[in-house]
Amino acid sequence: MTTIAIDTLKFVRRLTDVGMEKQADAHARAVNDVLSNRELAAKADPRDLELRLEAKIATIRFDMLEWMVGLLLAQTALIFTILPKLL
């Protein structure tokens, strides 16, 4: 995990210089907490996502093919059942 160092003393001094004495310490702590707890996406994350999506798409394609073949067979059976009665 990549961490970013922040000079909290310099941060507090800048906030104090512009008139934010009361909030300076709280802001510095909040920024430090956010920067230390964040998780960055690794290079492997997009590849892992791509592989999972490809597998899911392949599964969906197979399911659709099963349904299409089943409906084709049902339609053919229905036609051959009704056609002799019409003629």
How confident is the model over 36-73, as pLDDT tens digits?
A: 666 555 666 788 889 999 999 999 999 999 999 999 99
User: Domain span at residue 31?
Assistant: 1-40
On whether both 47 and 36 belong to a single domain, the answer is no
On whether both 36 and 71 belong to a single domain, the answer is no
On whether both 6 and 32 belong to a single domain, the answer is yes
Its pTM stands at 0.45
> Does the pLDDT value for residue 28 go beyond 90?
no
On whether both 15 and 34 belong to a single domain, the answer is yes
On whether both 49 and 30 belong to a single domain, the answer is no
Q: What is the mean pLDDT of residues 4-30?
A: 75
- 3-state SS of the chain is CCCCCCCHHHHHHHHHHCCCHHHHHHHHHHHHHHHHHCCCCCCHHHHHHHHHHHHHHHHHHHHHHHHHHHHHHHHHHHHHHHHHHHC
pLDDT of 17 reads 82
